[in-house]
């Protein structure tokens, strides 16, 4: 697949053994392409977050494979997978996961500090990313002084500060009102998605379906279908 950013092949994840075995994800195969925003949708318990965890190097599948830009993820050592997460993946969570005792800029700089970049360089890069998300004037404020939409934009700045190729969003609008959620995702589509980046988004929020390029539907751990974006 020449344009595949992510290629998942026959992924399985189960819990328990014997008659007690329960599949969270069963025989899932799909690809996500560079320059694409792919949504994963489905009812609670359908395997969306488990799948997200397997393609982002958090949860090891029981069988199957994940290739990121042609590189087999789960054949690597634990240290290599940790480096992969740190350097290749940017995470944006539903509840932001910001540190209240740090300034906004310091929160954004965290991935670079984990990469052992020096403090001044990390804060300089954080300031640039805050400009991208239109929060340069909030750099010295703690997250508790920001609105929910502003905190989500800080989380996005933190996710892109180390220039990852893959961005993973887990229910990014669930804590936001409809208008703010649409503004955030519209901004991500227009300003963050590039031809050299792939965005995977798990969501229940039909209000933002129009911003997807494709929608992958899941139920009971399986893929049940695909739809093109802006058709739902």
Residue 147 is part of a domain; what is its CATH number? 3.40.50.300
Nearest by Cα to 152 from 121, 192, 197, 206: 192
Q: What's the domain range around 221?
A: 4-97+143-228
DSSP strand pairing (214-219 vs 222-228): antiparallel
Residue 117 lies in a domain: no
What is the C-alpha to C-alpha distance for residues 183 and 146, in angstroms, rounded to an integer?
Answer: 16
CA terminus-to-terminus distance, the chain: 26
Under DSSP, the state recorded for 134 is T
Residue 129 lies in a domain: no
Residue 202 lies in a domain: yes
Q: Provide the whole-model pTM.
A: 0.91
Residue 59 lies in a domain: yes
Residue 111 lies in a domain: no
Residue 51 lies in a domain: yes
Residue 102 lies in a domain: no
What is the pLDDT tens value at each position of the chain, 232 positions in all?
A: 556 999 999 999 999 988 899 999 999 999 999 999 999 999 999 999 999 999 999 999 999 999 999 999 999 999 999 999 999 999 998 888 999 999 999 999 999 999 999 999 999 999 999 999 999 999 999 999 999 999 999 999 999 999 999 999 999 998 889 999 999 999 999 999 999 999 999 999 999 999 999 999 999 999 999 998 764 4
Query: Domain count of the chain?
Result: 1
Residue 26 lies in a domain: yes
């Amino acid at each position: 697949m020449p344009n595949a950013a992510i290629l998942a092949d026959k992924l399985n994840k189960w819990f328990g053994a014997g008659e007690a075995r329960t599949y969270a994800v069963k025989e899932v195969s799909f690809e996500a392409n560079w320059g694409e925003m792919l949504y994963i949708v489905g009812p609670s318990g359908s395997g969306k977050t488990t799948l997200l965890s397997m393609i982002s190097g958090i949860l090891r599948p029981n069988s199957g494979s994940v290739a990121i830009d042609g590189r087999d993820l789960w054949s690597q050592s634990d240290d290599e997978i940790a480096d992969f997460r740190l350097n290749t993946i940017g995470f944006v969570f539903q509840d932001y996961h910001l540190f209240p005792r740090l300034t906004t800029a310091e929160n954004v700089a965290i991935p670079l500090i984990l990469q052992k970049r020096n403090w001044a360089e990390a804060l300089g890069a954080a300031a640039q990313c805050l400009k991208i998300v239109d929060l340069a004037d909030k750099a010295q404020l703690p997250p508790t002084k920001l609105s929910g939409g502003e905190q989500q934009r800080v989380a996005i700045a933190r996710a892109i500060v180390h220039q990852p190729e893959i961005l993973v969003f887990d229910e990014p609008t669930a804590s936001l009102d409809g208008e703010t959620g649409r503004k955030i995702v519209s901004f991500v589509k227009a300003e963050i998605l590039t031809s050299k980046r792939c965005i995977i988004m798990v969501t229940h929020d039909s209000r933002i379906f129009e911003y997807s390029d494709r929608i992958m539907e899941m139920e009971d751990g399986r893929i049940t279908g695909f739809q093109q974006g802006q058709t739902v």
